[in-house]
């Protein structure tokens, strides 16, 4: 694709947090022309009336999916509840439209596991089999040629990228049977739908774990880690809700194998991510903060080995709405259309 060509992009479900984040990013993208934004409930409402931050940048109105002419787009993003993308993917791909789903419809290749966790049958297993898991740092080449991409979940992005250098290439560095991911997210990760648990008086001045007995992102993480390692990976995953709007922090605990005690893990991570635009391996001893990535597509990693012992602790931070969702989706789009991977994504984190 030439540098001057415009990608016609549509968004299904543009009223939620990932939808408005897509709008923010795509409205500034040098190679994107926003074509359509859909919402059945808000049909006819100017986007800027709902989100004044987009005044003067997005002049579209919400439309119903039936009137939005999504089949005239080059790419359609689904920022919708689970089950919506798979109901429309076949029709769109047959028209030559490429699909990026920010929900879970194309994340899990095992339909039995999908149906167990999302309580619905998978309606297009044929397209699922051809889809690509959209973690760029893992599947760059496959994403570039994909028709349908399943954008990773926010927690899985931090956990997989935090463990990737330790597992790939049949490495025998850590005890893969006993890995712990202690993860925290801001309340925007729960979406924009009103619920008691995310009310200010419930989530503010409070800190809690949830999904300890089982969380939908666990099988997604496990499927990818098993594939990377070429064997079963034992993972304990515990998510937490913290009283902030944006941000995600995963602390990963692994045990170093006796034969790997002389490994330079800092160098291992630096070499693996040396050419990745959006993964920053921080200097040894660093303590990353969520505010260092707020509103950016950057993910930062710090590697620690307390007392130079056999415990390896990996700290990972990202903005759950950007690298954890919409920014990663735009990164996937860039690859799919032969654009520079960082096009439209070079914003510096907002501080304070």
Q: What predicted TM-score, i.e. pTM, was given to this entire model?
A: 0.96
The mean predicted confidence, pLDDT, of the chain is: 95
Task: Give the pLDDT score at 2.
Answer: 52
Asked if pLDDT for residue 14 goes beyond 90, the answer is no
Q: Give the contacts of 274 (CB within 8 A, at least 6 positions apart).
A: none
Task: Give the pLDDT score at 191.
Answer: 83
190 pLDDT band, cuts 50/70/90, is confident
Task: Give the pLDDT score at 250.
Answer: 98
How many Å is the maximal CA-CA distance in the chain? 64
User: Do residues 160 and 142 make contact, with C-beta atoms less than 8 angstroms apart?
Assistant: no
User: Do residues 127 and 90 make contact, with C-beta atoms less than 8 angstroms apart?
Assistant: yes
Helix (H) or strand (E) holding 240: strand 235-241
The candidate with the shortest Cα–Cα distance to 233, out of 252, 246, 260, is 252
Helix (H) or strand (E) holding 50: helix 47-50
Asked if pLDDT for residue 3 goes beyond 70, the answer is no
193 pLDDT band, cuts 50/70/90, is confident
Give residue-wise pLDDT tens across range 26-71.
999 999 999 999 999 999 999 999 999 999 999 999 999 889 999 9
Give residue-wise pLDDT tens across range 215-230.
999 999 999 999 999 9
Task: Give the pLDDT score at 192.
Answer: 80
Question: Looking at the DSSP assignment, which residues form a beta bridge with residue 209?
Answer: 240
Q: Which of 138, 154, 179, 316 is catalytic?
A: 154
Asked if pLDDT for residue 1 goes beyond 60, the answer is no
In angstroms, what CA-CA distances link 280 with 110, 180, 251?
Answer: 32, 22, 16
In angstroms, what CA-CA distances link 134 with 7, 56, 145?
Answer: 19, 31, 12
The candidate with the shortest Cα–Cα distance to 39, out of 13, 18, 19, is 13
> Any idea which residue has 């789009």 for tokens?
333
Active site residue 73: no
User: Do residues 107 and 133 make contact, with C-beta atoms less than 8 angstroms apart?
Assistant: yes
Length of the chain: 352
Number of Cβ within 10 Å of residue 10's Cβ equals: 26
* Domains (range + CATH), the chain: 7-151+324-336 (3.40.50.720), 155-320 (3.30.360.10)
Give residue-wise pLDDT tens across range 301-323.
999 999 999 999 999 999 999 99
Q: DSSP per residue over 318-351, as a string? A: E-TTIIIIIHHHHHHHHHHTT--TTTT--PPPP-
Give residue-wise pLDDT tens across range 66-112.
899 999 999 999 999 999 999 999 999 999 999 999 999 999 999 99
Q: Is the peptide bond before 352 cis (omega within 30 degrees of 0)?
A: yes
User: What does the pLDDT average to over 332-351?
Assistant: 96
5 pLDDT band, cuts 50/70/90, is confident
């Amino acid at each position: 694709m030439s540098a001057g060509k415009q990608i016609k992009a549509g968004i299904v479900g543009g009223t939620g947090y990932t939808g408005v984040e897509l709008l923010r990013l795509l409205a500034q993208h040098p190679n994107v022309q926003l074509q359509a934004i859909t919402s059945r409930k808000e049909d006819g409402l100017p986007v800027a009336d709902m989100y004044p931050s987009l005044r003067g940048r997005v002049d579209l109105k919400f439309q119903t999916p039936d009137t939005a002419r999504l089949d005239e787009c080059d790419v359609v993003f689904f920022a919708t509840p689970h089950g919506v993308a798979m109901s429309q993917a076949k029709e769109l791909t047959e028209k030559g439209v490429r699909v990026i789903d920010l929900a879970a419809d194309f994340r899990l290749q095992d339909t039995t596991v999908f149906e167990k966790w999302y309580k619905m049958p998978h309606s297009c297993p044929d397209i699922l089999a051809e889809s690509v898991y959209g973690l760029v740092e893992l599947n760059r080449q496959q994403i570039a040629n994909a028709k349908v991409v399943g954008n990773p979940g926010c927690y899985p992005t931090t956990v997989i990228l935090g463990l990737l250098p330790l597992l790939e290439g049949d490495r025998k560095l850590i005890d893969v049977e006993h890995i712990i991911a202690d993860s925290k997210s801001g309340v925007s990760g729960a979406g924009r739908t009103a619920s008691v648990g995310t009310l200010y008086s419930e989530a503010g001045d409070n800190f809690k774990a949830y999904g300890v007995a089982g969380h939908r992102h666990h099988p997604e993480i496990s499927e990818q880690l098993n594939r990377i390692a070429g064997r079963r990976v034992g993972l304990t995953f515990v998510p937490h809700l913290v009283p902030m709007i944006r941000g995600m922090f995963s602390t990963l605990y692994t045990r170093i194998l006796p034969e790997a005690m002389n490994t330079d893990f800092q160098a291992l991570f630096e070499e693996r991510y040396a050419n990745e635009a959006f993964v920053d391996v921080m200097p040894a001893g660093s303590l990353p903060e969520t505010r260092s990535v707020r509103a950016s597509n950057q993910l930062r990693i710090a590697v620690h080995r307390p007392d130079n012992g056999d415990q390896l602790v990996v700290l990972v931070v990202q903005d759950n709405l950007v690298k954890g969702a919409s920014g990663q989706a735009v990164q996937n789009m860039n690859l799919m259309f032969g654009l520079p991977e960082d096009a439209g994504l070079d914003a510096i984190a907002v501080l304070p």
